Structure 1
Amino acid sequence: MSVMLLIPSYEPQEKVFLFVQQLEKETGTQILIVDDGSGVRYQKIFQKLSVLPSVTVLSYPVNKGKGAALKIGFQKIMSDYPDVDGVVTADSDGQHSIDDIKRMIAAVESVQTHTLILGTRSFNKKKTPFKSYWGNRISAIFFYFATGLKCEDTQTGLRAMKHQLLPELLTIEGERFEYEMNVLLQSKERKIQLEQLPIETIYESNNEHSHFRAIQDSYLIYKPLIRYISSALFSFLIDMTVFLLLLFLLGNSEDIVVPATIIARVISGVVNYLLARAWVFEDKSRVQTTLWKYGLLFLGQMFLSSIGVQLLLKFLPIAFISKLLVDSLLFGVSFIIQNRIVFQKWKVME
């Protein structure tokens, strides 16, 4: 079986040459290195790499991001290497051992065409850099909430797939680090089977050469969750503003509180639906396909909130705190239901 290694690289260190040289020697596979706009300063390294017999270097002048580099590599393999049966992607920053890459090459030979193999690391809190440890933990939790699947390492760049899967991967959105997460998030929708192969956890020089941008790239990865929280807070402000305004205009009597609560909740619910559909989950289906589902969720959430607060008041007789606890729980449940059922940003396959 013919397997090709695809290595996206941006501003590589000098040691990458020795790594690729040894990789070529021990695997005997063709290697495609995508220079993701590293610039003139790094061309000597890529020129040295291109001299290696089994290495091809593909360069372009402007940095596009890791996701774009992977897609450009996939396109190159599809057009110029049609006889390649499998592809293994690896990072160029020294986080993957040659032995693990060889295991991925062997593993891809026996998998189905619609399977993606993930080289998953285990993260020891004491041995893993702070940013890397918590970044992976948070993304794993987010991935579970979004899909219901457990993945130990959603950030891994060591992946393997059959050649037939490449056209599917090219249609998934994302140009930077969010692309690899998007592939996982859409795996069930696209019926891509995920298999996890444990690999060694390596962080050289405390991962100081990583090009991951903490704020920008984190936002791209967690964009739906961040937007969901933002829209929920905005809807809450709408709810409270309308509620207080009605009490101010109509009087603060017991007869007014209940209808004011309902009116405020309905108005904030409409705002939240519009934001969730257009901004959070970017759902492009017809309104009719999501409005009734959101309506049922809205009514159910309002019912459970009122019942939950009443029950909790028996043990915690502070209305504000009781409502805060109940609605916080429903907040998380609502995100899961909206994501998996109402808007189906990433559909879950039975």
Structure 2
Amino acid sequence: MVVPPWLPVPPPGYGGLEHVVAGLVDALVERGHAVTLFGAGPRHGTRARFVPTCPDIQYPRLGESLPELAHLAQVRHLVDPAEFDLVHDHTTIGPLVAGRRAVPTVATVHGNPVGEYGVVLGDADRGVGLVAISHTQRRLNPTLPWLGTVHNALDIADVPHKTEPGRGPVLWLARFSPDKGPDLAIRACRAAGLPLILAGKCNEPAERRYYEQVIAPMVGDDVTVVFDADREAALRMLVDARCLIMPIQWDEPFGMVILEAMATGTPVVALDRGAVRELVRPGVTGLVCDGPDDLPGALRRVAELEPGECVAHVARNFSTATMARGYEGVYRGFLGGPEHVATGRPVPVAAR
């Protein structure tokens, strides 16, 4: 299992990809597979054997290409075909360089497979199998060599949840970007007469510029701003919230925060973009709106939804065990049969 070198697995705060991989790794180990996790930094928190390709997390260099390329070059030298059946790659550049590995590679596409990213994926070695995280994502570029679709998942065992509707403010939880619609969240909550918490990732230059130039002038007494909340704080805010608002302005391929909200018993009010309808049961676990003008009314009505339905929906459809079974099917289909997978052989590399 190969993750980018930017964050630990699982991360202490922001990092949807890393949370998904942590859940997948532990579920695969639980099902009897021998998993080695290749990442960066001194620590990890999964049940996998951990092999760091460099001693430090590379988050300060996020946005540069060389850290990920060097990480993948190290992985290529460490992956011995005598010891591994399969590489599951979660990096951006991985599909482009995977053809040089001596071990077959399956790659999960975590972003939108269009534009420059689509060019990279379209030029990947034909022996690399791609996995979509939603049917919506897959439809955006149907010509890619997709093996299948496996939804992301969440381990809800340690997620606190409520049994009564939340009485706190509406919560927006994302990174500060126009794609995430924090300006629309402010306008919708003001129109509905409801307080709002903007809890946003704001530690990259583009995020800080957007907040300072666009969002800060809109903030008033009815809006509370929380920067860079860790996971524990984010879960507390979700439990207390009336609902999560998702006024997204792009075709988001998944949306882990939607699962996290529903797992705490908090319904979702979202615009109908991306994979929202694959995740939310309209009228049961949230309300899906056609446009921004529909958001205020939905924010008023959403308190009628039952928290227990939200939690049960995640448990039934987005468990880590379900995700692991989905990937097992992908692995076996890609390699040609179950006899090629889960040999349980030890991996003779330096591990922590």
TM-score between the two structures when normalised by the length of structure 2 = 0.29
Task: State the structure with bigger RCO (CA 8 A, min sep 6), 1 or 2.
Answer: 2
TM-score between the two structures when normalised by the length of structure 1 = 0.30
Larger radius of gyration: 1
